[in-house]
Amino acid sequence: MNVSMTTVNKVQKTTSTIFAVMLISMVGYFIFWGLGYTHYNSPVLFILATLFGVFMAFNIGGNDVANSFGTSVGAGTLTVPQALGVAAIFEVSGAVIAGGEVTKTIRSGIVDLGTLHIVPHDFVFVMMAALLAAALWLLFATYKGLPVSTTHSIIGGIMGAALTLGFIISSGDSNTLDIVQWNKIAEIAVSWVLSPLLGGMLAYVLFRLIKVYVLDYNTDVELKLKEIKKEKKQFKEQYKLRFDALPEKEKLEAASAMAQDAQIFSDRESAEEELEFESEYYRTLYEFEKRRQSLSIYKALQSWVPIISSLGLMMIVAMLLFKGLNNLNLGLTALHNSLIVFMAGALVWMATYIYARTLKRKDLGKSTFIIFSWMQVFTASGFAFSHGANDIANAIGPFAAIMDVLRTGEIGDTAGIPPIVMITFGIALVVGLWFIGKEVIKTIGTNLAEMHPASGFAAELSAATVVMLASLMGLPVSSTHILVGAVLGIGMVNRNANWRLMKPIGMAWVITLPSAACLGAIIFLVLRTIF
């Protein structure tokens, strides 16, 4: 035991060293490249901005990505190293492939910086302050194991720094508050309730259906099978005692009848055939077999599970097409996307059904969880790709704006993002998951509610569905809050939801924006004073 633990510790230390060296090397190369890209304008600011941006991406990995993979790890579908591998491939791929060639510089989102008539360096200070403020808040929340919204964090950082600049420029004019679109802030407040509520409701309904029509059905069937097996064993034992007690002549007659019946019994095609047996032994065994066949043992595995798997993958493909790959402008119409979704669903239904047919004579519960494990890996991968394509913009967006200002000397409406930025920040994201993501994974995967492959799949699918539908409908939601709500919905079905843990999590959600805003204001003042 001690030897194996020592080996694990050595592997973890080696992995940590490799990741640390990889990140430092990548950041070093990026700084070397970036100084040339920005024509060596304000090199100290560029280096600081790079460190702040990478630090933000690192903390997004430790909190947001850890939150996304918490259910997979908690369910036992993936280990932490495996989750890291999936995240490395799909998060970075999402960022590089579908992260968007151009990102808006966040001049007119929650805060309209365009109305302030600010100089380029002040804009840089606002974005740098926002990155560091959001990163520090995420680091604190991650250390406490609290999943919070990275989007709300960066918005808070920008808001605090921008308001501080506004008050400085306007000498305390109360109109400065008008640069904040307070209706958007109200929408964020609404998302604190709406996001977990929608995630929880859908997860509750979906997992309730899976529990009743698949898990409970299989449990009931397995109990009946055990009962039949027990009765069959008792009958064989009793029959042997009776057979041994028979006179020799009757033994020979019974043995002869059993020999004939054995051939008929072994040649039967199914228990539905009406067969006649001479011996009591095989007549009774045949009745046991008919009882067993009448249970429709694989009904859930061959009917409900393929349908659920098909719907699950359809939703993941839809999320990828309508959200994850939306930035690529592939030229696909809604009809094209819909046909792709239905084709994917049909393929998965056929594949799952055929696979389910091959699992006969195997453990029913394990077979069911094997299929749900596979589906959970697909949902986690799709979620990771979409996350990489969208949420990494919380780090890259402000940094791209900084880099563009330093390069051109003016504030533009858009900022191009070279692929090396995506790769560097993507690596920082994965490294953050490895070094500091374990606490948030533990919160989502085990502390909020107990998970297994079926419930983990239901939570991830529910979260992905709500994220996509809310995006299409324009509802103000947070993917982090949605997944937390989905896990609680699962816990409600299983009656093991940890409501006490929701108190600090809910409090963290509420204070994320104001905390990041306060940090942003302080950091902005420090940067403006120094530079």
Closest CA to 460 of 370, 332, 360, 374: 374
Under 8 Å between Cβ of 317 and 344: yes
CA distance 136 to 512: 11
CA distance 196 to 480: 9
Which bin fits 452, alpha (ψ -120 to 50), beta or left (φ > 0)? beta
The full set of domain ranges for the chain reads 1-215+364-530, 224-294
Distance of CA 372 to the CA centre of its chain: 14
Q: At what angle do helices 499-530 and 120-143 cross, to 10 degrees?
A: 150
Residue 102: which H helix or E strand, with range?
strand 102-104
What does the block give as tokens for 415?
């900022």
CA distance 514 to 152: 9
285-305: b or e for each residue (b if 16 or more CB lie within 10 Å)?
Answer: bbebbebbeeeebbebbbebb
CA distance readout (Å), 43 to 132, 135, 297, 407: 18, 22, 69, 11
Number of H helices, E strands in the chain: 20, 2
Instruction: Work out the burial of residue 489: count CB atoms within 10 Å of its CB; fewer than 13 is exposed, 13-18 middle, 19 or more buried.
Output: buried
CA distance 496 to 450: 7
CA distance 416 to 330: 19
What does the block give as tokens for 468?
């996509």
pLDDT (tens place) for every residue of the chain, 531 residues total: 455 667 767 878 888 899 999 999 999 999 999 999 999 999 999 999 999 999 999 999 999 888 888 888 888 888 888 888 888 788 777 777 766 544 454 445 667 766 777 888 898 999 999 999 999 999 999 999 999 998 889 989 999 998 999 888 877 666 777 778 888 788 888 888 888 999 999 999 999 999 999 999 988 988 998 899 899 899 888 988 888 888 888 888 888 888 887 877 777 665 556 677 788 888 888 888 888 888 888 888 888 989 998 988 888 888 777 766 666 677 778 888 889 989 999 999 998 888 888 876 667 778 888 889 888 888 888 777 777 766 777 788 889 889 989 998 887 766 667 888 888 988 898 899 889 988 899 899 889 999 999 999 999 889 888 887 777 776 767 888 999 999 999 999 999 999 999 999 999 999 999 999 999 999 999 999 988
CA distance 474 to 477: 9
* Residue 502 neighbours by CB under 8 Å, 6+ apart: 448, 484, 488
